[in-house]
Every structure is written in C-alpha cells, then in structure tokens.
Amino acid sequence: MHGYRFRLVALLAIFPLSPISSEFATLFDGTSLSGWTAIDSKPGNWRVQDGCLVTLGAGKGWLSSNREFADFELALEYRVGPSGNSGVLIRAPHQGDPSFAGLEIQILDDDAPAYRQLKPDQYTGSVYGVIPARRGQTRPAGEWNQMRIRAIGSKIQVELNGALILDGDVSDHPEVLPRHTGIHRKSGFIGLQSHSTPVQFRNLLIKEIRSSTNAAGG
C-alpha cells in the first residue's frame, strides 16, 4: 500500500492535471444539444434542463460529441441519484459497444447497496473492465462531483473532486482482449452514457493535447 501511494504522488508530480484555462474549449453550450448526436438512444432520452445535459435513463444508448479527439484533458461535473449509473466514453467509435470498442470511465453511486458486490474495475473513475480506480472520493447521491480525465497515448489519469484516483496505462492490460479492443484506439468520440437512471452533466470543457501520439487511428 505504501508503494502504491508513493507511485501516485510521483506520477502526479511528472504528469499533473493542468488548471482550467483559456486553452479549454466548451463541449456543451448550456442551452442546446448543438455539437452532440444521440447514438442508439430513444427519442427524447437526452435533453437540456436548467443548464445541464440530462439523460432520463430511458434504455441504453449514448450521447456522442460530433468531433473526434485523440489526446486530451476533459473536465466535467456530474450528478447521479440513488443507485445512479453512467459513464464517460472516450475514443469511442459509432459502431459496436462504446464501453468496449472505446473506453468507459465509470460513473456510479458507489455507496448504493445494489453495487456492493461489483468488481474493483466497475466503480467510479475506473477504466471500466480494465483498470480499477481508488475508491472513497465520490460524494453522496444527489451532490455534484467534479471529474477530470486526461488521456495521452495509452496513459489515462482520472481525478475526482480534487484527488487523483486513477493513473494507469491500458496497454499494460492485454488480458482484457479480445473484448476490450478500445485499449488500442488512438482517437474517437467523447460520449456520455445512458444507463437505467437519470444523470445530469454540466460544465464540460476539453483541451486537446498535441503530441506524437496524435496519429489518427482506431
């Protein structure tokens, strides 16, 4: 455990999440679904309400950005109700299950009794089914959470409410293949998942990171 804590501190020092600045662009304008497309979703499941992107949780499907991104840092706020379940999809294609053909950063009401027996990589902040996040940073259902996601090449960081809860490399997990082919993707769409419960999102901002890993692909 002490070695794990040291690794988090050391990696944060060399791979810090940057402060929100003018380099971040708005992904959601707060008033419309402009810039977004619903994929495999029931009509009316996604809407704008009180300055938030809202999914009613009516069935599956997801809301996709109209643009693809490679390396980036994404900031957002989310709020789930009791037993809430959702996710942020990154580098996702429009074909196949985006949680596996791309990558999903899990969003969950971690403390709900219904979720007591999940696998470690199924709780909030985890790269779903690939890398587990450190638990204990989620706020109670009904409160807003601040999430930051940074993806550079195969390295993924997740910060929740100011704490670094995941710092890993998806290329270190070939054992998840062939199901999780998204670990090989270099670019794709940003997405918000609709599961079985209403979820709200707001203040979605993104900064593209130009590097040698920006080659198109997927």
How many Å is the Cα radius of gyration of the chain? 16
- With 0.85 as the threshold, say if the pTM is over it: yes
What would the CATH number be for the domain defined by 2-208? 2.60.120.560
* Residues contacting residue 4 through CB under 8 Å, at least 6 positions apart: none
Element (H, E) at 99: helix 98-101
Whether residue 108 is predicted with pLDDT greater than 90 in this model: the reply is yes
Structure tokens at 158: 């997740």
What pLDDT was estimated at residue 196? 84
Q: In this predicted model, what pLDDT tens digit does every residue of 127-145 receive, in sequence order?
A: 999 999 999 999 999 999 9
Structural domain spans, the chain: 2-208
CA–CA gap between residue 150 and residue 75 (Å, rounded): 9
Q: Which helix (H) or strand (E) holds 52?
A: strand 52-55
The greatest distance separating any two alpha carbons of the chain, rounded to the nearest whole angstrom, comes to 49
pLDDT per residue over 31-60, tens digit each?
999 999 999 998 899 999 999 999 998 778
